[in-house]
Chains A and B, each alone.
Chain A
Amino acid sequence: MAPPRGSAAYKKKDGTLALSKDGQSVSWTPVAPPGSKPALTLPLPIITNLQQTPASNPKVMLKIFAQAPGTSTPETHVFSFTSATAARAEADALKDALSKSIQTAKSGSALPGTPSGAGASSAAMAIASAVSSGRNAKGESDAWYDDSKLKQDVELQKSLLMANPSLSKTFMESLRTKPESISSSQFTSQFWSSRVHLLRAHAIEKNQTRGAYNVLSSIKPTTVDNEIKLSISKEQIQLIFNQHPLINRVYDENVPKLNEKDFWARFFQSRLFKKLKGERITDADPTDNILDKYLQYDDDTERAKRLMAAHVPHIIDVEGNEENHSQRKGNQPDLTMRPTSIDRVPIIRTLNALSEKILSHVAPNDVDPSLPIGVDEETFNELVLRDLQGDPEENRVILNIKDQSRFFNSDKESGLSADAILYAQQDPAKVLQSVQADLARVSSSTNLSTAIGVDSDSDSSDDDTSNPKKPHVGSKSSLSAATSQMLSLISAQRAQHDDLTISSSSFSTSQSSSTSGLSPLIFERLSLTHATTTEFLQHFWSAFLSGDATRAAEVSKLIETLSRAMDRIKAVAADAEAERNKEVEERRKKVQEFYDRTGKKRKVDYESIKGGAGAVNGLLAPTVRAIGVAKKEYERALREQGGDVNGV
């Protein structure tokens, strides 16, 4: 396809604006001297921005922002398209092509494309991808912290909804039941504005990629139709070249002669492959005349090079102290530790070297990045006597609390509490006297068993009827009343903790206790209704309290939705009640059968069958209360504002 071009005027001179053949630059050639060279050439990398006049504008202009490296301000070039008939089309074509090329240049590709490009242009590619990924990473990390970007990122939201089924259910359900006056986009933005942290976490999670791994050991041939097939992805090839630069060398030297497919086929069957994987080379392996030359390649020189790179501070340099090498003479080291027997157990060496290489690219975990990089700091920290340093200073922020007395003399401002009023009616001296006299009744020789007033022989019934008004301290009635209060507290606590512990407890025989007697279906509906109602309540409050007059209609529609939510809750309660009635019926029938069979009557406690409207109402009581509060506030505001209450 011919590179797009169009006749455009630049700086009041007619000419042609065209994209170059290789797509790497845009040039403008003036028309006046025919056949002249382009007067203005803009290479793509320096173009930062493109602007075009909208389609409604009769004038068609294209503005290109270019910032040459080394200059701090971008310069603009304005081209107005002069073609009589196809100005708009030309401009559009140019703009599309330009923006596409700029896009590809900016994003760069993570993979090298084809291995053939890997050799020569790997250096250039690496730099380009590093720059672009650097820019990308910065742009992305900005996006993570920019709330508005997260809220607009529809893709991210969709993937989060797919990953989190309960969230998607809530979203769909609320979307389905929302009032018509609220547009979908409004609703969506409201929905996500309270869940920005979820979006952020999801974005960061998605951005994590798998780290480098030992690629050679993961490549295994599959047998299909008696043929051995092997498939490698581009990413794996890239990793192979990274981890074994030897293969890179081999490839570069041999591929122009050999076909690429043949090269890889031979490689994976050769001894070289086995050696790099670390497996032992037996005599049964096929020999390969080209690849076996590289078997002699000594890995040691490379490792020595790496060691020289990592400077070991003298203070902890163990190898520097070679004279103390006890294994020189005497005990021969273990089979795996002997320096000459690489060929026997090559896998250990290979794996270790490979892991070291992979890890050297990963950011170190135990190094504090805020410390300066110099080695002296590290060794100094290792040498320093930590015990003598004293306590680390605490990071405390001083709050300037003005006028602390505010906190201490509030009694006078707020008025006296009921207790204080009662106390004020008492005479302090008399009070003290009475208390002291009371205390004198208990002395160190008091027999406690009589002092506590517990009479183990008394009949409980006597206490109740004989002296109902004033049981003494420690009487049976008071003790039993105390016991019953405690037991009710305990059972209330137990009911609270049931759903938490019941799933893990081995004593749960029926699942109904965790859902308080409701069937799973009803429970699901209930939780869904609750989630959507909470969502609408949130929406209502944010609209109501915002003071925005434009959202007034929204608020009124939300009130309608809330009443519909109430109806939904009632519907669920009715269903639950029907279910419970069914259960009661069944029990009744069973009892009847039992009676018919054996003639014995069995008492059934119908109250103990849990579930039904009672459970639903109990579970959702706070939500119902919240809806009531919202309605009340709204009606109150409505009355104050002079509007009439429409029976909402």
Chain B
Amino acid sequence: MNAVDGSDHYTKTSDEPPPSLLTIILDTNPHAWALLSPTLPLSAAIANLLVFVNAHLAFNNANRVAIIASHTQRAEFLYPLPAQETSSHTNGSAPQNGFDNDVEMADDGEPTVPPLSDDANHYRPFRLIQTTLLTALTTLLKTTPPSSLTPTTSIAGALTLALTYINKTTLSLSTTTSSTAPNADTTLAAETAPPALNPRILILSVSGDLAHQYIPIMNTIFACQRLSIPIDIAKIAGDTVFLQQASDATRGTYIKLDHPRGLLQYLMMGFLPDQTNRKYLVPPTAVGVDFRAACFCHRKVVDVGFVCSICLSIFCSPPEGAICLTCGTHLQLGEYGGKPVVVARKKKKRKNVEDGKGKDAT
């Protein structure tokens, strides 16, 4: 009908702030949680997290949440669970199966949500999330062989999953609100119209050692920067590495929890406001950001070093033969290594030198 109707439709856009989508990435490294269990056992943390999620959903009817587990070797959705692959659509191609049109139950590997028993005292959506999350998490831990445990966690994979989910949700929401116009118009309308959804990502991190995922994590950070998705980080335990840069680049909040037992208070006070509210509040993010990068040859943290002008990779000392390790270009070095008193042996010219620490902190 809309295609034929030539009159203009002035759809009334609501003036209220758009609902927000909170994506929580839960670091489930078993080693780290085992270390933490004297102070903050996983059960207590999950309970606090569930209260926080309920609070977020209670704010606005249209608010949504997604929970992703960042495990040692993989990342998985804990809520909402991916749709089960039913075999009903294959029955059409094999009519000789006869009347065996039953939907096969998924095999043991897939987490199956048990049927929800009605509890009159428990709000149904909250109950659904609680059940799904716990079932999925239990299954995840059950299917982890002890040999696969590593000191790290796949944050990069989890971030990518979060981004895809956000993209999917945003697309599905924007097409339902706009009229049936040709493709070029919807993208234009989507750009100029207010966003249908305010997405943000919250990472609950308990482990460190992310240096070898530097490149993928930085890629996701830049993607979030472009899409203006703030990444909040609650560092319960573990090495900081460059998660601080993530929250700083995307204008999120980074809090290192000094008192993990008060997790609920941190969550409610620091991470509950959504993007529209943050404009009016002072974020409790850490003041100084550690911008130091790790050098590409030794993974040492450096503050003065050499930078390749082609690929911008950082080295703590000039590489041998003046050949950049990542892109293989032969580089010229500028002057460096002067000594004040005696006649200095002229070293190769250096490429570039980052500014000394402290001068840019004011």
Contacts and interface: CB of A to CB of B under 8 A. Distances in A.
Query: By CB atoms of chain B within 10 A, which of A438, A444, A630, A642 has the most?
Result: A444
A414 B208 CA distance: 15
Contacts of B48: 452, 473-474
Contacts of B238: 419
Nearest to A418: B239
A403 B325 CA distance: 9
A623 interface: yes
A448 B259 contact: no
Interface in A413-431: 413-414, 416-420, 422-424, 426, 428-429, 431
A310 interface: no
Interface in A176-220: none
A481 B356 contact: no
Given A410-B212, A417-B208, A448-B47, A537 B359 contact: yes
Contact of B262 (A435, A481, A534): A481
A482 B259 contact: yes
B296 A399 contact: no
Nearest to A450: B47
Interface string B257-277: 111011111100110000000
Given A400-B328, A541-B356, A544-B338, A442 B151 contact: no
B195 interface: no
Contacts of A439: 42-43, 46, 134, 137-138, 141
Given A401-B311, A417-B151, A432-B146, A440 B41 contact: no
B264 A545 contact: no
B211 interface: yes
Given A474-B44, A492-B287, A641 B339 contact: yes
A174 to B, nearest CB: 16
A643 B341 contact: yes
B283 interface: yes
A623 B361 CA distance: 9
Interface stretch (A75-83, A329-337, A546-554, A591-599): A546-554
Interface in A436-492: 436, 438-446, 448, 451-454, 471-475, 478-483, 485-487, 489-490, 492
B282 A483 contact: no
Given A452-B264, A622-B362, A623-B359, A642 B130 contact: no
Contact of A414 (B262, B263, B283, B300): B300
Contact of B340 (A435, A454, A638): A638
B198 to A, nearest CB: 22
Interface stretch (B2-10, B32-40, B82-90, B169-177): B32-40
A493 interface: yes
Interface residues of B, number: 92
Interface string B232-273: 000000110000000000000001011101111110011000
A642 B342 contact: yes
A622 B362 CA distance: 7
Interface in A629-648: 629-630, 634, 637-638, 640-643
A333 B273 CA distance: 61
B209 interface: yes
A642 B339 CA distance: 11
A399 to B, nearest CB: 5
Contacts of A454: 264
B291 interface: no
A489 B255 contact: yes
A481 B262 CA distance: 7
B40 A549 contact: no
B338 A444 contact: no
Contacts of A130: none
A451 B147 CA distance: 32
Interface string A29-52: 000000000000000000000000
Contact of B326 (A402, A448, A546): A402
A426 B47 contact: no
B226 interface: no
Nearest to B127: A444
Nearest to A430: B34
A573 B142 CA distance: 63
A474 B266 CA distance: 11
Nearest to B353: A545
Interface string A388-412: 0000000000011111001111110
Nearest to A628: B358
Contacts of A442: 43, 46-47, 134
A619 B362 CA distance: 7
A486 B270 contact: yes
B168 interface: no
Interface in B119-138: 119, 127, 130-131, 134-135, 137-138
Interface residues of A, number: 95
Contacts of B184: 387
Contacts of B335: 545-548
Given A473-B41, A474-B264, A545-B337, A626 B358 contact: yes
Contact of A475 (B134, B261, B299): B261
Query: By CB atoms of chain B within 10 A, which of A446, A485, A492, A548 has the most?
Result: A485
Nearest to B130: A444
A496 interface: yes
Nearest to A422: B35
B344 interface: yes
Nearest to B349: A547
Contacts of A409: 212
Contacts of B298: 410, 413-414
Contacts of B357: 625-626, 629
B340 A552 contact: yes
B261 A472 contact: yes
A605 to B, nearest CB: 23
Contact of B269 (A414, A478, A483): A483
B279 interface: no
Contacts of A643: 340-342
A567 B206 CA distance: 46
A274 interface: no
B358 A622 contact: yes
B34 A407 contact: no
Given A439-B141, A453-B44, A641-B341, A629 B34 contact: no
B239 A417 contact: yes
Contact of B359 (A452, A534, A641): A534
A473 B40 contact: yes
B31 interface: yes
Interface string B278-317: 0000111111000000001011100000000011000000
Contact of A485 (B46, B258, B311, B325): B258
A436 B299 contact: no
B116 to A, nearest CB: 9
Given A436-B142, A452-B44, A637 B127 contact: no
A637 B340 CA distance: 7
A489 B285 contact: yes
A207 to B, nearest CB: 30
Given A414-B300, A552-B340, A552-B341, A622 B359 contact: yes
Given A478-B265, A549-B344, 13 more contacts: A407-B215, A424-B151, A444-B127, A444-B134, A473-B261, A483-B262, A489-B284, A496-B287, A545-B350, A549-B343, A626-B357, A626-B359, A637-B341
Interface of B: 30-35, 37, 39-44, 46-48, 50-51, 54, 119, 127, 130-131, 134-135, 137-138, 141-142, 144, 146-147, 149, 151, 184, 207-209, 211-212, 214-215, 238-239, 255, 257-259, 261-266, 269-270, 282-287, 296, 298-300, 310-311, 325-328, 335-344, 346-347, 350, 353, 356-359, 361-362
Which 4 pairs across A and B sit closest by C-beta, in order of nearness?
A482-B262, A547-B338, A478-B261, A451-B47
23 contacts: A407-B215, A411-B209, A417-B208, A434-B37, A436-B141, A436-B142, A438-B42, A439-B141, A441-B43, A452-B47, A452-B51, A454-B264, A473-B41, A474-B44, A475-B261, A485-B258, A489-B286, A549-B342, A622-B359, A622-B361, A622-B362, A625-B357, A637-B340
